[in-house]
């Protein structure tokens, strides 16, 4: 099987309803899958709760029913937020087999190991459980995705050498950031001899919409290359990275990504230097480093559209000084007709407990409310 380094993340699929990600546009997704496979790519990554719990169902329709099993590689995950008992692990796993329609998963992950979730995974004996799934032939390779610091990662990999790969958040903005510490985590995984699958290479779209200065710099260097290509190539250029996942949500993105990843060229020294400059510029402009993963949304009792609000807030702060007027305020007002307002947050903390970026969401929502609702 071909081992091109780009994986199709099935978490931001095209939707028939902007406010409901579970309404996946299956026909458009089928075309995207066909193009992806035609261009020689094989890796697909889904999870229990992606696209409002509908990504795995869509995977069956767009991929599993339409391609022989040996033409693709499928990954999915068990998330600590949805298991209360040991029985729940099997209920979810069996339902995942049912939803996707496969008889085994090529890659299966414990989803988002961090200081809090590891207590659940330990309490419910998930480390033995996932190994057992492999022993039964229901999973080919076991691993975990990870959103915490290098010390805990080192401890998990030391205690659990049975894991075969690690999925890490790596992008050029987080590479040396104090919060995410991508570089240190990558180095820990490499030290343990575990290949890395990269998630969030474009940081939830942040690195697709870079400040004008950065865009100009990238375009002057290579006019034909898209802005996100710099981010994906950064991640793919790391020797110990076996796959870079991109959550592609339309055909244009897919054509662009697959275009330069078909015959992948690692970054050269001049390109690295431009990226380091870009990091300095971007860091001076982003206010809320939210990746838009939406893990925080489903549990919010006030139905607050947290990542949408943060995205509007970031965009507004980037534009506001120069243009005097921006459309973000109108988008915000429209969204609050369907979702709770930022000011309606009751501070329950549910969102902060599940945020992989450990963002102080409650505090940021107060800023959003002050900004858009005053
Ligand atoms: S703290 Fe606020 S935003 Fe977070 S889940 Fe509770 S109500 Fe929703
Ligand atoms: S606030 Fe955190 S959990 Fe919510 S979308 Fe942003 S990064 Fe994801």
| pLDDT tens column, 255-278 | 999 999 999 999 999 999 999 999
Q: How buried is residue 324: exposed, middle or buried, by Cβ count under 10 Å (0-12/13-18/19+)?
A: exposed
The number of the ligand nearest the C-alpha atom of 363 reads 1
Task: Please tell me the distance from the alpha carbon of residue 310 to that of residue 297, in angstroms, as a whole number.
Answer: 12
Q: Is the shortest distance between the CB of 300 and ligand 2 below 6 Å?
A: no
Q: Minimal CA–CA distance to 96: which of 162, 106, 72, 163? A: 106
For residue 360, report the distance from its CA to the centre of ligand 2, in Å.
10
Read off the pLDDT of residues 49-63 as tens digits, 9 standing for 90 and up: 999 999 999 999 999
Between CA 275 and CA 107 the distance in angstroms is 32
Q: Which segments of the chain belong to CATH 3.20.20.100?
A: 6-276
Residue 61 in tokens: 């329709």
Q: State the average pLDDT over residues 291-309.
A: 92
Atom of ligand 1 nearest to the CA of 350: 5
**Per-residue model confidence as pLDDT tens digits over 9-51:** 999 999 999 889 999 999 999 999 999 999 999 999 999 999 9
What is the mean predicted confidence (pLDDT) over 74-98? 97
Q: Which two tokens stand for residue 71?
A: 């033409």
Query: Which position has the higher pLDDT, 315 or 71?
Result: 71
Residue 100: predicted pLDDT: 98
Closest CA to 223 of 231, 213, 215: 215
Q: Ligand 1: distance of its center to the CA of 350 in Å?
A: 6
Closest CA to 303 of 372, 267, 233, 350: 350
Run of H or E including 108: strand 105-113
Poorest-confidence range of 32-36, 111-115, 289-293, 320-324?
320-324
- Residue 319: per-residue pLDDT: 61
Tell me, what's the pLDDT at 179? Answer: 57
Alpha-helical segments (H) within 82-206: 86-100, 117-123, 126-135, 150-159, 182-191
CA of 306 from ligand 1 middle (Å) equals 9
Distance in Å, CA 212 to ligand 2 centroid: 25
Q: Is the pLDDT of residue 285 over 90?
A: no
Q: What is the whole-number distance in angstroms between the Cα of residue 297 and the centre of ligand 1?
A: 9
Ligand 2 pocket, 188 CB below 6 A?
A: no
Angle subtended by helix axes 227-236 and 269-283, to nearest 10: 120
**Residue 142 Cβ contacting ligand 2 at under 6 Å:** no
CATH 3.50.50.60 is the classification of domain 6-276: no
Which of 200, 287, 307, 311 best tests ligand 2's pocket when mutated (most atoms within 8 Å of CB)?
307
Q: Which two tokens stand for residue 142?
A: 């076991």
Report the length, in residues, of the chain: 374
- Average pLDDT of 191-219? 92
Percent of the chain with pLDDT strictly greater than 90 = 77
Angstrom distance (rounded) from CA 336 to CA 343: 10
Residues 327 and 340 sit within 8 Å (Cβ to Cβ): no
Residues with CB under 6 A from ligand 1: 300-302, 304, 306, 345-351, 361-362, 365
Q: How far apart are the C-alpha atoms of 112 and 168, rounded to whole Å?
A: 9
Angle, CA 115 vertex, CA 8 and CA 170 arms, to 5°: 35
Question: Could you tell which of 290, 294, 295, 306 is best to mutate to test the pocket of ligand 1, judged by most ligand atoms within 8 Å of the CB?
Answer: 306
**pLDDT the model gives residue 36:** 98
**From 135-139, 183-187, 291-295, 363-367, the region with the lowest mean pLDDT:** 291-295
- pLDDT classification of 326: cutoffs 50, 70, 90: low
Q: Compute the distance between CA of residue 358 and CA of residue 206 in angstroms, rounded to an integer.
A: 17
pLDDT for 180 beyond 80: no
Nearest atom of ligand 2 to the alpha carbon of 292? 5
Task: Give the residue from 219, 241, 357 showing the smallest Cα distance to 293.
Answer: 357
3-state secondary structure of 347: coil
Point out which residues pair with 76 in neighbouring strands.
108
Average pLDDT in the chain? 92
Q: What percent of the chain has pLDDT over 70?
A: 96
- Tell me how far the alpha carbon of residue 314 lies from the centroid of ligand 2, in angstroms: 13
- Predicted local confidence at residue 2, as pLDDT: 44
Tokens of 10: 């099935």
- For ligand 2, what atom is nearest to the CA of residue 361? 1
Q: Which of 48, 99, 41 is nearest to 67 (CA)?
A: 41
Nearest CA to ligand 2 atom 6: 290
Largest distance between two CA atoms of the chain: 62
pLDDT, greater one: 311 or 142 = 142
For residue 323, pLDDT beyond 60: no
- Give me the residues paired with residue 246 across strands: 8
DSSP codes of every residue in 20-55: -TTSB-HHHHHHHHHHHHHTT--EEE--TTHHHHTH
Ligand 2: distance of its center to the CA of 279 in Å?
A: 21
């Amino acid at each position: 099987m071909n081992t091109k380094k780009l994986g199709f993340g099935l978490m931001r699929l095209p939707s028939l309803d902007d406010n409901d990600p579970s309404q996946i546009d299956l026909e458009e997704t089928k075309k995207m899958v066909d193009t992806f496979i035609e261009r020689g790519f094989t890796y697909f990554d889904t999870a229990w709760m992606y696209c409002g719990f509908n990504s795995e169902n869509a995977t069956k329709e767009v991929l599993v029913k339409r391609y022989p099993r040996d033409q693709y590689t499928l990954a999915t995950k068990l998330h600590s937020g949805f298991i209360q008992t040991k029985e729940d692990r099997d209920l979810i796993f069996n339902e995942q087999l049912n939803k996707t329609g496969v008889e085994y998963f090529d890659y299966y992950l414990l989803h988002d190991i961090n200081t809090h979730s590891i207590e659940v995974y330990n309490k419910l004996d998930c480390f033995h459980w996932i190994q057992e799934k492999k022993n039964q032939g229901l999973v080919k390779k076991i691993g975990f995705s990870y959103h915490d610091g290098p010390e805990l990662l080192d401890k998990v990999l030391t205690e659990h050498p049975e894991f075969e790969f690690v999925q890490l958040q790596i992008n050029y903005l987080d590479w040396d950031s104090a919060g995410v510490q991508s570089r240190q985590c990558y180095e820990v995984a490499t030290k343990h001899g575990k290949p890395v699958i990269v998630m969030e290479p474009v940081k939830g779209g942040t690195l697709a919409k870079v400040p004008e200065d950065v865009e100009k710099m990238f375009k002057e260097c290579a006019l034909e290359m898209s802005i996100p290509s710099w981010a994906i190539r950064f991640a793919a250029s790391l020797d110990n990275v076996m796959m870079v996942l991109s959550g592609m949500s339309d055909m244009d993105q897919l054509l662009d990504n697959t275009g330069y990843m078909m015959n992948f060229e690692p970054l050269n020294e001049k390109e690295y230097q431009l990226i380091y400059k870009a990091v300095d510029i971007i860091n001076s402009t982003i206010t809320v480093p939210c990746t838009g993963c939406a893990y925080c949304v489903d549990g919010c009792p006030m139905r607050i559209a947290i990542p949408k609000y943060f995205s509007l807030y970031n965009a507004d702060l980037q534009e506001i000084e120069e243009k005097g007027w921006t459309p973000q305020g109108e988008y915000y007002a429209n969204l609050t007709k369907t979702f709770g307002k930022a000011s309606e947050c009751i501070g329950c903390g549910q969102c902060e407990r599940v945020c992989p970026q450990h963002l102080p969401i409650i505090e940021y929502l107060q800023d959003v409310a002050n900004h858009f609702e005053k």
